[in-house]
Structure 1
Amino acid sequence: MFITLEGGEGSGKSTQLRLLTEALARAGAPHLCTREPGGTPEAESIRALLVEGEANQWDAYTETLLFMAARVDHVRKVILPALREGTLVICDRFMDSTFAYQGAGKGVEEDFLHLLHRFTLEDFRPDLTLILDIDPEEGLRRAQARRGHETRFEAMDMEFHHRVRAAFLTIARHEPQRCAVIDASAAQEAVHREIMEHLRQRGMAA
C-alpha cells in the first residue's frame, strides 16, 4: 500500500510522518518512509536545486519538469520495488503537490500535468492521501518559527499559498475515496489519532 501526506507549508507533515512511522514500527509493520523531491541520491540532488534559493529562480515549467524527473527516479528505484516486496510506503508529498504548487500556485495547465504524469508514471497513484489542512498564515508562522528562515516556497506571496490550499481541498473533493482531509491546526496527537483511524478504516493498521 502507498500512502502520501500532503499539505501546505507548516502543516506538520514531517511531524506526522515521524509519529506514523513510530506507530508502525511499534506494531512491527514493514514500512518505508520517504519524501519528495528526494528519496534517491539523484532526486536529492534535484531537491537541493528546488527547495533553496530565490522564490522565482525557476520558470514554472522548468520547475515542474525537475520535480517530475526526481519523481520518476524515486518511483522506479525506491517506491515500486518496496511495494512489490509488500512494504507499506509512506511518502512526504507526491503528485498532488505538483497539481497544487505548480498547477494552481504557478499556473501550469492541469491538462499538461495530467499528460506528464500519464506519460511518465502511467496510472500509478497513492492508495491513500492524507491532506493536512491549515490556514496558510498560521502554517507559514509555524514553518518559519521552526526553521528560522524561508525556503523558496515559503517566500512566495500569500495569494500563492491560498491557491495551493484551495487546490488540495479541490483534489480531496474530486477523489474522496483516495483522499482524507485532516485539520492540521489541531494538537499533534489529535492529528496523529485521526491519521491512524483513517489507516484502520482501510485495513492498513490494527
Structure 2
Amino acid sequence: MAERLTCKRVDYYNFGTLYQRRGEWAEAESMFRKALRIDPSFAPAASGLAAVLAQQEGGDSDIQRGLEFFGAGEYEAAIAAFSRAQPSPGLHNNLGLCYYRLGQWSEAAAHFHKALALDTSYARAHFNLGLVYAKQGDDQAAADAFAQALELDPNHAQTHYRRGEVLLRLGRPGAAEAHWAFLHARNPDDARLQTKIDSMMQANP
C-alpha cells in the first residue's frame, strides 16, 4: 500500500510539473496539492506549489481577464490581455484560439507553433494547429497535425472526428471510417454522431 501511494504521489507531481510548464496554473496547483495530501513532507511538490501560487499572484490577473473576454466573444480585448501575461505554452494556445476565432489563420498558426516550441507534447496545440490547416485548405497538413495530437492523446474524440473529416476529403474513406468506428464504439447510442458519419460517407462514396 505504501509503495502504491508513493507512486501516486510521484504521478501527481509529474502532472503538476507538466501543467506548470504549460502555464495551466489551476491544474498544476491541484496536482501538487494532491501529491502533498498523500505526503505532506514531499519537498518537490511543496516547491512546485509555492512557485505556482507565486505565479498566480503575480501574473494571473491578465490571464483571467483574457479568459473572461474570450468567453464573452471579445477576442481583440482578450488578445490585449493575454499579451500582457508571461509567455507560456498555454498562453500562446489561448492567443492562437483568439486569432482563430477572428479568422486570422496565419496569426493563429504562429501562436500554436510557439506553444509547441515550448512544449512539443501539448496535444491540444497540435489539434488546434490541425484546425487552422483545415481552414486554410491544407488537408494533408491538418491530417498530420491531428495524427500528432492522437499520438499524445489517443482517446480525444474531437481529434478522431476531425481527422476523419480531412481524410475523407483526401480520398481515404477507409482510414476516415476507422476513426469514426472508434467514436461509435465509445458512443454506440449517439444517433446524431451516426447520422453525421452516414451523411459524410454517402457524400463521399
TM-score of Structure 1 vs Structure 2, range by shorter chain: 0.3 to 0.5
Greater relative contact order, per chain length (Cα 8 Å cut-off, separation 6+): 1
Q: Taking structure 2 as the reference length, what is the TM-score of the superposition?
A: 0.35
Q: Which has the higher helix share?
A: 2
Q: Which has the larger radius of gyration?
A: 2
Q: Give the TM-score normalised by the residue count of structure 1.
A: 0.35
